Amino acid sequence: MKYDLWIRNGTLVSSRGRRKADIVVRDGKIDGIIDSGRSIEADQILEAEGRFILPGLIDGHVHFRDPGLTHKEDIYTGSRSALYGGLTYVIDMPNVHPVTSTAERLRERIEMARERACVGMGFFALLTEENLGEMEELKRAGAVGFKIYLGTSVGEIAAPPDGVMLEQFRRAAELNMRIGFHAENNAINDYFTEREMERGSTSSEDLIQARPGFSEAESVGKAILFAGETGAKIHIYHVSSGRTVELIRRAKAAGVDITAETCPHYLLLDRVDYGRLGPVLKAFPPVREREDRKKLWEGMLDGTIDMIATDHAPHTKEEKSGDIWRAMAGVAGVEISARLMLTEVAEGRLSLERLVALMSEGPARVWDLEGRGKIGEGYGADLTLVDPERTGVIRNDDLHGKTNVTAFEGVRTVGMPVASVVKGKVFELV
């Protein structure tokens, strides 16, 4: 039998361990895993000696801004950046113009991705005051999950009123769909933001007082209560505070189906980095204290946090500069998350197995992504090949997105995705 692709002599990695084996691919799928050293007939051979082969890395949280905000990013540039970062699948957010709250708009975006995306793409559908009746149709149209903004962020999207939201939780439970939350409390954020502005605060680190960790924890507590009442599955996006990690840990122990993600900027940066980065580091929720960072790491290592996503939130250089209260919140990151986390592996703070759990298996499990998150027969031929020793320095100008303002300019990395396979097609990345 002749295969389309034979990947030989690589070391396959899962959350449970690693082993040397070959992979054969046919029709965009993994056809088999076989012992290395055998002779195979294939149209194409990818030599993977000295490489780790990870199940295609997934970013469960990106903003590719398409349609409506394409001066910052679009589906082509965002997914090109993801591809160069070694990712094979991303899930995009609904805060575009118009917002993704109807099945028709969702179908349009899925079609755009089919035509223009360089990696696989899924989409979250926004829940608003109006679309309770459309949730089933949104599922049928292909939504990966639902999103609720409990606190407003970029795009000023309001949470549905509590009564409607309770019904939406019930409906999501019936549909077996998970709801993800931008978890912040508006009243708390508005009050303390105003207070900081009245005080004349101009320093970026004052964002921590303006949007305190308790604001996040309060709103996560509310989502947990609603989930307990309705049996809905929930997910907390971009966890930033230590007290939220504790809340989620307790809710999991109490049997709530709650999952969570955090991002490289919350894991690798803290208050001291505002001085150096200024408004570039502005994000909602904000990067916080060293102590929060420590608790995020504990949560990430003990399974309280299920995945690392980037919240890739590109803005132009102009939008990311100037007055801290007016600069836009969000940093780009889709192209550098794998490199950053591989560097943590190289430095011994994280195992490669745990990285696979957080960047591939986790998102595939949380969002029920069929055929993803595992190197196995019948799974999609989406793979990330890593050279664990290849070093580099992150330069925003080298990245492949449209605006590329990251918080990691100049950072030295060890370990890099050097090739990937997307739907059976090979890409050399360096």
Enumerate binding residues for ligand DOR (CB under 6 A): 63, 95, 153-154, 182, 283-284, 313, 329-330
Give the one entry of ligand DOR, Zn ion, none that residue 95 binds, where binding means its C-beta sits below a cut-off of 5 to 8 angstroms depending on kind.
ligand DOR
Residue 300 has φ and ψ, to the nearest 5°, of: -70, -35
Rounded least distance, CB 332 to Zn ion, Å: 12
**What would the x/- binding string for Zn ion be over residues 305 to 324, using CB under 5 A?**
------x-------------
Query: Which C-beta is closer to Zn ion: that of 182 or that of 271?
Result: 182
Is 261 an interacting residue with respect to Zn ion (CB under 5 A)? no
Rounded least distance, CB 4 to Zn ion, Å: 36
Distance of alpha carbon 32 from alpha carbon 49, whole angstroms? 18
Give the one entry of Zn ion, ligand DOR, none that residue 329 binds, where binding means its C-beta sits below a cut-off of 5 to 8 angstroms depending on kind.
ligand DOR
Rounded least distance, CB 283 to ligand DOR, Å: 4
Query: Which C-beta is closer to ligand DOR: that of 154 or that of 280?
Result: 154
In the block, tokens 């690798």 appear at 268
Q: 56 and 18 in contact (C-beta within 8 Å)?
A: no
**What would the x/- binding string for Zn ion be over residues 267 to 306, using CB under 5 A?**
----------------------------------------
CA-nearest of 1, 53, 52, 4 to 24 is 4
DSSP state for residue 100 in the 8-state scheme: S
Query: Which C-beta is closer to ligand DOR: that of 94 or that of 415?
Result: 94
Sign of the torsion formed by the C-alpha atoms of 370, 376, 10 and 345 = positive
Query: Which C-beta is closer to ligand DOR: that of 53 or that of 283?
Result: 283
Give the one entry of Zn ion, ligand DOR, none that residue 310 binds, where binding means its C-beta sits below a cut-off of 5 to 8 angstroms depending on kind.
none
Residue 101 CA to its chain's centroid (Å)? 20
Query: Which C-beta is closer to ligand DOR: that of 83 or that of 207?
Result: 207
Distance of alpha carbon 152 from alpha carbon 154, whole angstroms? 7
Rounded least distance, CB 95 to Zn ion, Å: 7
Distance of alpha carbon 390 from alpha carbon 29, whole angstroms? 28
Q: Hey, what's the torsion of the CAs at 335, 338, 340, 341, to 10 degrees?
A: 160
- Long-range contacts from 287-295, C-beta under 8 angstroms, 24+ separation: 287/208, 287/240, 288/208, 288/213, 288/240, 288/241, 288/242, 289/208, 291/242, 292/213, 292/240, 292/241, 292/242, 292/266, 293/266, 293/267, 293/268, 293/269, 294/242, 295/241, 295/242, 295/243, 295/245, 295/246
Distance of alpha carbon 364 from alpha carbon 354, whole angstroms? 14
CA-nearest of 16, 3, 32, 15 to 379 is 32
Rounded least distance, CB 304 to Zn ion, Å: 20
Query: Which C-beta is closer to ligand DOR: that of 319 or that of 344?
Result: 319
H runs (alpha helix) in 92-150: 103-116, 135-141
The gap between the terminal CA atoms of the chain, to the nearest Å, is 32
Rounded least distance, CB 126 to ligand DOR, Å: 12
Give the one entry of ligand DOR, Zn ion, none that residue 308 binds, where binding means its C-beta sits below a cut-off of 5 to 8 angstroms depending on kind.
none
Give the one entry of Zn ion, ligand DOR, none that residue 283 binds, where binding means its C-beta sits below a cut-off of 5 to 8 angstroms depending on kind.
ligand DOR
Give the one entry of ligand DOR, Zn ion, none that residue 48 binds, where binding means its C-beta sits below a cut-off of 5 to 8 angstroms depending on kind.
none
Query: Which C-beta is closer to ligand DOR: that of 72 or that of 171?
Result: 72
Interaction residues for Zn ion, span 54-93 (CB under 5 A): none
Query: Which C-beta is closer to Zn ion: that of 4 or that of 216?
Result: 216
Distance of alpha carbon 226 from alpha carbon 273, whole angstroms? 36
Distance of alpha carbon 375 from alpha carbon 31, whole angstroms? 10
Give the one entry of ligand DOR, Zn ion, none that residue 113 binds, where binding means its C-beta sits below a cut-off of 5 to 8 angstroms depending on kind.
none
Q: Hey, what's the torsion of the CAs at 382, 24, 354, 347, to 10 degrees?
A: -100
Query: Which C-beta is closer to ligand DOR: that of 313 or that of 334?
Result: 313
Rounded least distance, CB 261 to ligand DOR, Å: 12
Distance of alpha carbon 370 from alpha carbon 246, whole angstroms? 30
Residue with smallest beta-carbon separation from ligand DOR: 330
Rounded least distance, CB 315 to ligand DOR, Å: 6
Query: Which C-beta is closer to Zn ion: that of 309 or that of 418?
Result: 309
Rounded least distance, CB 221 to ligand DOR, Å: 19
Q: 109 and 88 in contact (C-beta within 8 Å)?
A: no
Rounded least distance, CB 124 to Zn ion, Å: 10
Give the one entry of ligand DOR, Zn ion, none that residue 384 binds, where binding means its C-beta sits below a cut-off of 5 to 8 angstroms depending on kind.
none
Binding residues for Zn ion, rule: CB under 5 A, are 311
